[in-house]
Amino acid sequence: MSTPVFAPPGDKHELETGVLFSPRFDKDGLLPAIATDARTNDVLMMAWMNEQALALTIETGIAHYWSRSRNQLWKKGETSGNTQKIIELRTDCDQDVLLMKVEPQGIGAACHMGYKSCFFRILPTGKTPDDKLELEMCEDAPMFDPKEVYGKK
Amino acid sequence: MSTPVFAPPGDKHELETGVLFSPRFDKDGLLPAIATDARTNDVLMMAWMNEQALALTIETGIAHYWSRSRNQLWKKGETSGNTQKIIELRTDCDQDVLLMKVEPQGIGAACHMGYKSCFFRILPTGKTPDDKLELEMCEDAPMFDPKEVYGKK
């Protein structure tokens, strides 16, 4: 997949008001993609797609990302079984973010830590911002043990 | 605000399982922040925060971002009146994304195009990825006229 798949971004007016899908990848060739649970509307995760991952997501209807830490294409849930079936795909006003409504497959844990959502910790508000702010857990126990699913790390 | 406000990121284990809030800004000093409507759970927008914007968000309880296009601190809604009151703030497993539940103020249009959400266009699924994909509108008419609010551009 060496030639660009998608239309190159047009000018600001075209991007914001036109009908042509022309995703704006950043200087590293990546685009943030937010996955929400189609049933509850909860945000499950945010990860990154390159052009290949986005093309595969559209083609297969299953979320694919680009792993920045592993530097490789990442079919979400390939190891854990917790894949994400695409129900709806949107882009934002200037076409540099994607929003996906997904139907979580498997046991439905989006986070590699075993939680349903990666956003399992709250930062209490009304505090003075400093270097001692503490997070609070806001999800139940993990749905799987990462060590069992991915092996010891 | 020249000295860092927040704790520097610890190792992977500490980031993922610890209680210390230590946001991981990217190499440009920015962090993606997703805003959802606290009442409907709909995703309204995704924008970026630098350390100052995040500190101000926590301190004031009103969403502040860093505008990459204008290269300046951006109190969301300062011109349009559509500010965002923070109801809840979360971070993700590796502390490089923020999720905010907000109560939209003013007429509640998060998008500079006048829409409630920046994600007002759907990319129909089941298509072959190519350079002719067309978006479909999925929100009602804009809630305000950008020309009236921001002036002619």
Q: A126 lies in a domain?
A: yes
pLDDT at residue A57, as a whole number = 97
Residue with tokens 């509307």: A41
Q: Which domain holds residue A120?
A: 22-147
| Total tally of structural domains belonging to chain B | 1
pLDDT for B125: 84
* Residue A128 placed within a domain: yes
Question: Which CATH number is A129's domain given?
Answer: 3.10.20.810
Q: Per the domain annotation, does A6 fall within a domain?
A: no
- For residue B83, the model assigns a pLDDT of 97
Instruction: Note the pLDDT of residue B126.
Output: 85
Closest-approach residue (CA) in chain A for B142: A17
Dist CA A43 CA B36 (whole Å): 9
Which residues, given as ranges, of chain A have pLDDT below 70? 1-2, 152-153
Q: Say what the pLDDT of residue A111 is.
A: 94
- Given a contact cutoff of 8 angstroms between Cβ atoms, the answer to whether A107 and B82 are in contact is no
**Does B19 touch chain A if contact means CB atoms closer than 8 Å?**
yes
Residues of chain B below pLDDT 50: 1
What was the pLDDT predicted at B2? 59
Task: Please tell me if residue B150 touches chain A, with a CB cutoff of 8 Å.
Answer: no
Q: Is residue B48 part of a domain?
A: yes
**Three-class secondary structure of residue B62 per DSSP:** strand
Taking Cα atoms as reference points, which of A35, A31, A34, A27 lies closest to residue A6? A31
Q: Quick check: is A90 in a domain? A: yes
Q: Is residue B120 part of a domain?
A: no
Overall pTM surpassing 0.90 (yes/no): yes
Note whether residue B100 is domain-resident.
yes
At A18 the pLDDT is 92
Report the complex ipTM: 0.95
In a domain, A12, yes or no: no
- Listed by number, the residues of chain A in 31-90 with a beta carbon closer than 8 Å to a beta carbon of chain B are 32, 34, 36, 40-43, 45-46, 54-55, 58-59, 61, 86, 88-90
Contact B19 A134 (CB under 8 A): yes
pLDDT at A115: 95
* Cβ distance of B41 and A46 shorter than 8 Å: no
